[in-house]
Structure 1
């Protein structure tokens, strides 16, 4: 059986840091209020001349180096992003050029905060069908570019960053299963009202936070059950939870569902904020480089985002 194995990870965060103390100077809020409700202490923000592709490229360089491969071995590039550099070409094509990679297929996926899990799922199918042998999978977003900093309940959440993994075909277990879902009927609970062909309303994020929170917790509960049942595993078989970093309370609720100590949950939201599609690969790379996650351990990734979209990936690292 052919598996998709993660052989290298990388991440990148812009230099500028926007702390809760900085936000206190922008609007009426406090560090304590933000931390208590979200778990966020600071987030990174791109400079005026940085773009999503720049974050993606730097994360990719790290992943390629960590994997030890010749970059010309990459035969597919998938970028999960909500904030592409341009309407077209895809950010993946821009990344391909900036990395000087060979003429392989390259395309973007848009599933907001679930984007990286969606991209992993697609890449896994390419490898398992023999259509690709080495895939660069990236999650990168510049959420600050679509954040309304006059909306304090929303502005406190978002950060910018990029994360990447190299997936290679292997006869050793890697991605064990992926599960992706969507329900577009919840569109207006979390969306950007204006777009290219629908130029009405704001071009920044609008969110009904309390409603999104309730649905997210219940939905992530169900996808945990789905993932464990599909793989005939018990909750105790999961070594690490690597969740989308949206809100510390959602992370705690999912850990409780798994009867898992928070010591076994990768938490970076305090340092990164919500970086959308970059969230999971950033958390994964951070945990690997901090020597928390080790080879042979079983990881559960799960995410929930606008759409609504949600998904999970069970991985033997």
Structure 2
């Protein structure tokens, strides 16, 4: 018996926002001062650091709960299950439903309740709740689903990671170019097969790190409204992640008893191409090895950073053959990993 992912689904928004689309933005420093570079130079430097060439945004009429529903539908269809048999709907997000051109986040009812409503699930014992855990939220949702099933409190769970960061970005902040929208979902249940979730690791660092990612006002000094936007201390996050994530991955792998030589893929949160690459290289260095070619699939260059959605959408795209030169075969050992606001780190060792 094993607790496995039996169905996957994702929603990739249709609107493509290219780097060139930011050439007409007025980027400012955090203190409101001008940046002594042209937008073309700013954008080129941004691409060199993050690897992002374009990102996806949802249409104006859509909400976060809508795209979560779209991804959930696909996962249910992929798993070939009766939706009424789902015991828990766990939805990881960070900002709720934010309507286009509005300032307020809407989280009542929860996104999970809205998804259950849109799925037209009648069973009242199908419990929906939201999980706020920064970018590692979807992985933490999988860990919680695993705990429910292991404890005999559930047989089948739907875990969704969904975010519409385009609704909470400050267009005067260079970091706004990182963020995107998307949703990914999985069905998790106990099966007669072997493998599945082998072990997991989670940590929260708050002594000095709690506010590395936060909600702050616009960089533009002449805008007086009190609307706030997603902000971060990029350098601090980079240094934190490089120090702590490889160690968490190492601990998680050691707990599983699996050799690093047997790891076929590391599906890491698509935060920043250079940072992710540095994390995985350091993880292999801790084992006296070089990072193998192709072990770290990336989607950030075309999809941007959609927070909780990056790992499940990446996983779904590989399984559906939508990522060039990437595949996951039966029995493959993979690692899911993420780092984000909190500051939180987590990882799962999983046998496909």
Q: What interval of TM-score do these two structures reach, taking the shorter chain for normalisation?
A: over 0.9
Which residue of 2 is the match for residue 36 of structure 1?
48
Distance 1:232 1:201, change over 3 A: farther
Which residue of 2 is the match for residue 105 of structure 1?
127
Write out per-residue CA displacement over residues 133-178 of structure 1, whole angstroms, 9 at most, x where no aligned residue: 11100000011111111101x1111000000001011242211112
Residue 66 (1) aligns with residue 53 (2): no
TM-score (norm 2): 0.84
1:261 Cα shift?
2.3
Q: How does 1:92-171 map to 2 (within 5 A)?
A: 92-101=112-121, 102-103=123-124, 104-152=126-174, 154-171=175-192
Distance, in Å, in 2 between the alignment partners of 1:232 and 1:61 is 35
Q: What's the Cα RMSD here?
A: 1.7
- Do 2:246 and 2:280's aligned partners in 1 also have CA atoms closer than 8 Å? no
Distance, in Å, in 2 between the alignment partners of 1:295 and 1:250 is 29
| Counterpart selection for 2:294 from 249, 263, 266 | 263
Write out per-residue CA displacement over residues 76-100 of structure 1, whole angstroms, 9 at most, x where no aligned residue: 1000000212232110000000011
1:202 Cα shift?
5.3
Q: Which runs of 5 or more structure 1 residues have no equivalent in the other structure?
A: 195-199
Distance, in Å, in 1 between the alignment partners of 2:55 and 2:154 is 35
Aligned-partner SS, 1:9:
strand
- Do 1:3 and 1:128's aligned partners in 2 also have CA atoms closer than 8 Å? no
1:180 Cα shift?
1.2
1:25 Cα shift?
2.9
Distance, in Å, in 1 between the alignment partners of 2:206 and 2:216 is 14
Which residue of 1 is the match for residue 206 of structure 2?
184
Distance, in Å, in 2 between the alignment partners of 1:61 and 1:181 is 31
Distance, in Å, in 2 between the alignment partners of 1:145 and 1:45 is 9
Which residue of 1 is the match for residue 349 of structure 2?
314
Which residue of 1 is the match for residue 266 of structure 2?
241
| Counterpart selection for 2:251 from 226, 241, 260 | 226
After superposing on structure 2, the runs of 4+ consecutive aligned residues of structure 1 that deviate more than 6 Å are none
Which residue of 1 is the match for residue 20 of structure 2?
21
Distance, in Å, in 2 between the alignment partners of 1:34 and 1:17 is 17
Q: Which runs of 5 or more structure 2 residues have no equivalent in the other structure?
A: 27-38, 98-105, 218-224, 285-289
Aligned-partner SS, 2:329:
coil
Task: Please say which of residues 26-35 and 103-112 is displaced more in the overlay.
Answer: 26-35
Distance 1:274 1:262, change over 3 A: farther
- Do 1:255 and 1:261's aligned partners in 2 also have CA atoms closer than 8 Å? no
Which residue of 1 is the match for residue 242 of structure 2?
217
Distance, in Å, in 1 between the alignment partners of 2:269 and 2:82 is 30
Which residue of 2 is the match for residue 197 of structure 1?
none
Write out per-residue CA displacement over residues 222-265 of structure 1, whole angstroms, 9 at most, x where no aligned residue: 11111121112222121111000001112212331223324121
Larger % of helix: which? 1
Which residue of 1 is the match for residue 231 of structure 2?
206
- Structure index of larger Rg: 2
Distance, in Å, in 1 between the alignment partners of 2:127 and 2:66 is 19
Aligned-partner SS, 2:267:
strand
Number of matched pairs: 310
Aligned-partner SS, 1:267:
coil
Distance, in Å, in 1 between the alignment partners of 2:335 and 2:172 is 36
Task: Please say which of residues 298-307 and 42-51 is displaced more in the overlay.
Answer: 42-51
